[in-house]
Amino acid sequence: MIAMLAISEGAKRSALAQIEAMGIDRIIVFSKRPSLTGKSESSNSASMIERYGLTQRDRSHIERMDNVDQVIGLFDVRKKILKGLTRTNLKLIGCDINFLNESPAFLEKGRWFTPADFKNNVPVCVIGKNVRREMFELGDTNVVGEMLRVDDKVYRIIGIINNPYESQYPEIGGQNDMILIPQTTGRAFYKDYAFYREGRSSKIIRVEFDLFLVKVNDTAYIDNTAKRLSGYLEKTHGEIADWGMVVPFELLKQQEQTQNIFTIVMGSIAGISLIVGGIGIMNIMLASVFERRKEIGTRRALGAQKSDILLQFLIETVFLTSLGGVIGIAVGVGIARTITYYSGMPTVYSWWSIGLSLVISSLVGVIFGTYPAYQAAQQNPITVLRSE
């Protein structure tokens, strides 16, 4: 039971931490390539330029909305990042200067961008910790100051960031896989264009922003803000679904509900096993009462009250079940630790769950020990004394 609780609690914590890492006080709006079906495809293939997603206009509008504190924009340059000849899944991202502050990542080495970097379109980059692993040799620990070539441009690495939650943003992936450059640098170097090969035809894709982190002032009204935001986007983007929205806060609530159901199911299983175990204990104690009826008779002859006998057997049962509880806790904690050790899956065993288990195990003793103890007390001393 402890193990079950620990696993479910651990799963819950890690899922919640993931979501919380995205920030519960923000709404994530992202660009999505419209599905290439039916009319849109023919109309798109007519023009060489495919244009979709969030725009600067959207951004300035969202910034003016109620309850919106700030908007952080990210855009994917859509360059293939190669290590030698292999394509990596890293992404070159132009970001706002506040991106680091508003994300769960922290600076591991070096520095973050300065306003001057932005103003002067300086070719510098801050890389996620996975980038270092993929792009550099194993021994290369201090890569700050080194140059990183992406396509035909070279960037000087000024810092390494680490997002300990490994949280993923929709469409553009995890922060640890990003090569971040100042947004202004990105715009100056690449404009908003990206060449894109698809089968035999190549295309130019134009996306102004891939992601907005919309930070709200008051989480209490986040639902409302999200609704208005999606209303606005529906109106301006028309029927083409080239955007998507995630509200971590909503996810959090959903996740909590799912987890609660999970915990309830786990709890019921544990409860049923407690009942089964309790009935087992009861049978053992009844057998024990039968086996020890001579002792009961002797004790009664020596002056034990019925209540003394009752208490004796009840205490024995409670002791037995509490011992079982202690062993169960030890085994449960052991299992939880083993799981964590081998799978890295976090398990959480809280003090309250251990305390609760102890209380429940002695309670099982009281509930299922009462009947056998009552039986013991009701034995007729004459007949049990004669028995062998």
Partner 1 sequence: MTTEAHGGDIVRLIDIRKTYITGDLRVPVLKGINATVSRGEFVGFIGTSGSGKSTLLNILGMLDVPTAGEYFLEDVEVGQLSDVEQATIRNRKIGFIFQSFNLFAYLSVEQNIEVPMLYARIPGRIRRKRALELARRVGLGHRLGHRPTQLSGGECQRIAIARALSNQPAFILADEPTGNLDEKTSNEIMELFHELNREQGVTIVMVTHNPALGPHYDKIIRLRDGRIDDTPFEWEVRGTPK
Piece in contact with partner 1 (CB under 8 A), picked from 12-20, 66-74, 294-302, 334-342: 294-302
Residue 250 engages partner 1 in binding (rule: CB under 8 A) = no
Residue 298 engages partner 1 in binding (rule: CB under 8 A) = yes
Q: What gap in Å lies between CA 320 and CA 275, rounded to an integer?
A: 15
**Binding residue (CB under 8 A) for partner 1 from 305, 331, 334, 359:** 305
Residue 387 engages partner 1 in binding (rule: CB under 8 A) = no
Residue 293 engages partner 1 in binding (rule: CB under 8 A) = no
Q: What gap in Å lies between CA 3 and CA 137, rounded to an integer?
A: 41
Q: Does the CA dihedral 145-147-148-151 come out positive or negative?
A: positive
**Binding residue (CB under 8 A) for partner 1 from 57, 308, 330, 341:** 308
Do β-strands 91-95 and 178-182 pair in parallel, antiparallel, or remain unpaired? parallel
Residue 385 engages partner 1 in binding (rule: CB under 8 A) = yes
Residue 306 engages partner 1 in binding (rule: CB under 8 A) = yes
Number of residues that bind partner 1 (CB under 8 A): 16
| Coil/strand/helix, residue 176 | helix
- Count of CB atoms situated within 10 Å of the CB of 125: 26
**Binding residue (CB under 8 A) for partner 1 from 139, 238, 303, 344:** 303
**Binding residue (CB under 8 A) for partner 1 from 145, 200, 302, 342:** 302
Among the listed residues 285, 343, 338, 377, the one whose alpha carbon sits nearest the alpha carbon of residue 3: 338
**What are the φ/ψ torsions at residue 60 (nearest 5 degrees)?**
-65, -30
**Binding residue (CB under 8 A) for partner 1 from 102, 134, 295, 316:** 295
| Coil/strand/helix, residue 160 | strand
Piece in contact with partner 1 (CB under 8 A), picked from 10-18, 252-260, 292-300, 352-360: 292-300
Piece in contact with partner 1 (CB under 8 A), picked from 23-31, 159-167, 289-297, 360-368: 289-297
Cβ-based nearer residue to partner 1, 228 or 306: 306
Structure tokens at 123: 């070719």
Cβ-based nearer residue to partner 1, 97 or 385: 385
Residues in the chain: 388
Residue type, 276: V
Instruction: For the chain, give the longest Cα–Cα distance.
Output: 105
Q: What gap in Å lies between CA 127 and CA 107, rounded to an integer?
A: 10
Residue 288 engages partner 1 in binding (rule: CB under 8 A) = no
**Binding residue (CB under 8 A) for partner 1 from 154, 331, 345, 382:** 382
Structure tokens at 257: 């509900």
**Binding residue (CB under 8 A) for partner 1 from 26, 79, 129, 299:** 299
Residue 138 engages partner 1 in binding (rule: CB under 8 A) = no
Residue type, 259: Q
Binding site for partner 1 (CB under 8 A): 294-295, 297-306, 308, 381-382, 385
